[in-house]
Structure 1
Amino acid sequence: MNHKVEYQEFPVLKSKSFPYFIYQPPKDNSLALFHPHWHEQIIELIYMAEGEAKFQIDGQTFHAVEGDIFIIRENLIHAGEAINETPDYYAILFNRELLINPELLDYYDNIPLINPLSPPIVLKPTDANYRIFIEPLQGIIREYNEQKVGYAIAIKAYIFVITTELARLYSSEDKPTRSMEADKQNIKLLNQIIHYVEKHYHEKITLEEIASIANMSSSHFCRIFKKATGGTFTEFVNKFRIKKSEKLLDDHSLTITEISDAVGFCNINYFGRLFRRYKNCTPMQYRHRQ
């Protein structure tokens, strides 16, 4: 249902009872929060509780600070990086179609609850509609943290309020445009490329090889990839490899050189430089954390 890769292990939201998921990142001092991905039928809300981050959403870059609310609708490619240290944020994901009982649509036929949405990507505390969403979001976070009796039902109720407000404020009945269809095709293409990287990250991957798979010139592929993800293809591959190396570093039977080779870096010094860039420490320091 939703595209997911190993670095961001969100569950598939199949439960009709509680079709949502809440994620809070661990304080691991990592600059890489999540790599480019998207969700086909899932909306994601990100609330910045503390700290700063750089988000790339739908090809745009945003400086996220405390109090910001990000609304990431279905099929928007998004990625995130910390600026100084891992920020404190909450990601709330939910499936509108599973959340809403079809019988309710007969009573609320004047509110297109599952129509396409065109919300702003970010709401700041000074924006007009901010208060409408911050109150149920804070309710979700409170219930999630306290986990009192019935907290799961309470969270679902708050998400239903958010879903209704999104429909009231940002519902769109526009038919798909040529540009929207092109975006869908690009997402399908990027899906294919990301799966290829997942399978072959430990091998040498060249830009020419990937462009050939995409049936594009190298320059055109680079433009498409950067527009969609906010970063270069090389950055994506390097970040993916660094993430894979984290798990291997917990295996003390492997040397740093062996791990470097296992994740596709042919030069251990290059591996060390990239690891420090994305994790704020050396591979050896990461291995002996805690």
Structure 2
Amino acid sequence: MSSSRAGATINTPSHRPFRASQPARGVWQDACAIIEPQINAEGIHFWPFERHFPIDVVHLVFDQRHPIRLNRHDYFELLYGYSGEIAFQVQDHSVRVGEGDLFVMGSTLYHRPVHSGSVRAKAIAVYFLPELIRAGEEANQDVEYLYPFLAQSSGFPHVVPAESGLPGEVLRLIRQAHAELSATAPESRLIVKTCLKMILALLAKHYASYWRGDEALDRRHRNIERLRPLFDYIDRNYGERISVADAAARLNMSRSHFTRFFRQVTAESFAAFLNRFRIAKGQALLVSTDKSIAEVSREVGFCDQSHFGAVFRKLVRTTPLQYRRARAVLQPDPGRWG
């Protein structure tokens, strides 16, 4: 599961750069409104870091009425449960992040918040690219800092419980880093990087017994690469008819093998994935254009408006028209730090 400098761009190999304007640091923001438009067809969430200092702290409000698609990201993520409780789907299982818990997520597993214990929950997230730690480090030293993020597999314990005392120490360091992030002076950036390294050292000590090597990581990367031609095709042609047979043919797989493989890698069926992607595109059009709902439904690949409306209500839990009206008046939560 995402504030940053306006107009910053992140370039990732084989992907078009994503450009976005982000809210001011320290302001609580609706997680869905920020994250959902930044997820591409492959289910990758792009965050617009500053090119030369890729780390951000963001304050998120999770609302169970506003779902977020399954996604992964090239950055690493730490999420501190500030208030309420959030349930996350990680691949095919669920974990709960309570108040004071810490959620640790690397770059290979698809995940998303599925609901909160109350209507709204708050969390403070740290996003950073591993290059920030790798820069200037001796060979293999970066692995010692980053292995809790690199070694994640199906049995990895993503939640560090509040009662361990570690999340409280991490929050103190997050706040110290957050206070320096708006400054560009070398000494301020040194403080931010030092705070991050202290956090990573604490996590490395906590997770020492869970080191599993990189076999599972390499296998997952290979599987995602096998799907990349299909994701690229969907990005370009989501408005056209795309059947399971079409998708399987793109990857030179039989229909049955493709169906099993796609679910194994993404933790959902191809039909569910395609519907979620198209609805997300529809959400963006409803907010950013004055096109009619019928026009939007056709543009994102639905054969008729009624089908689009039915799938939209199922996934977003409101009608397209209600969603458009609500987003037109949506304002960020002005509260800070609680």
Matching residue of 2:9: none
| Pairing 1:157–2:194 present | yes
Q: 1:99-248 counterparts in 2 under 5 A?
A: 99-100=133-134, 102=136, 105=138, 112-114=144-146, 116-118=150-152, 120-126=157-163, 130-141=164-175, 144=178, 154-170=191-207, 176-177=214-215, 180-248=217-285
What is the rounded CA distance, in whole Å, between the counterparts of 2:260 and 2:128 in structure 1?
31
Structure 1 residue runs without a partner (length 5+)? none
| Pairing 1:38–2:73 present | yes
Matching residue of 2:322: 285
More displaced stretch, 258-267 vs 29-38: 29-38
Structure 2 residue runs without a partner (length 5+)? 1-11, 19-36, 40-44, 330-338
More displaced stretch, 148-157 vs 268-277: 148-157
What is the rounded CA distance, in whole Å, between the counterparts of 1:181 and 1:252 in structure 2?
41
Give SS of 1:137's match.
helix
Question: Number of aligned pairs?
Answer: 280
Deviations 1:105-130 (A, max 9, x none): 49x9699335544562222324xxx4
TM-score (norm 1): 0.77
What is the rounded CA distance, in whole Å, between the counterparts of 1:230 and 1:111 in structure 2?
28
Give SS of 2:165's match.
helix
Matching residue of 2:122: 88
* 1:222 positional shift: 2.7
What is the rounded CA distance, in whole Å, between the counterparts of 2:130 and 2:51 in structure 1?
11
Which residue identity does 1:206 align to in structure 2?
S
Work out whether residues 193 and 210 of structure 1, in 8 Å CA contact, stay in contact via their aligned partners in 2. yes
Change (3 A) 1:148 1:241: closer
What is the rounded CA distance, in whole Å, between the counterparts of 1:198 and 1:109 in structure 2?
38
Give SS of 1:33's match.
coil
More displaced stretch, 168-177 vs 90-99: 168-177
TM-score (norm 2): 0.68
What is the rounded CA distance, in whole Å, between the counterparts of 1:265 and 1:214 in structure 2?
24
* 1:263 positional shift: 0.9
Which residue identity does 2:129 align to in structure 1?
N
More displaced stretch, 218-227 vs 141-150: 141-150
* 1:201 positional shift: 1.4
Work out whether residues 111 and 167 of structure 1, in 8 Å CA contact, stay in contact via their aligned partners in 2. no
Change (3 A) 1:53 1:197: farther
* 1:187 positional shift: 1.8
Deviations 1:194-214 (A, max 9, x none): 333222211111111112222
Change (3 A) 1:168 1:102: farther
What is the rounded CA distance, in whole Å, between the counterparts of 2:38 and 2:325 in structure 1?
23
Change (3 A) 1:204 1:43: same
Work out whether residues 260 and 266 of structure 1, in 8 Å CA contact, stay in contact via their aligned partners in 2. yes
* 1:142 positional shift: 7.1
Deviations 1:224-279 (A, max 9, x none): 33233332222221121111112211356311111111111112122112222232
What is the rounded CA distance, in whole Å, between the counterparts of 2:158 and 2:143 in structure 1?
21
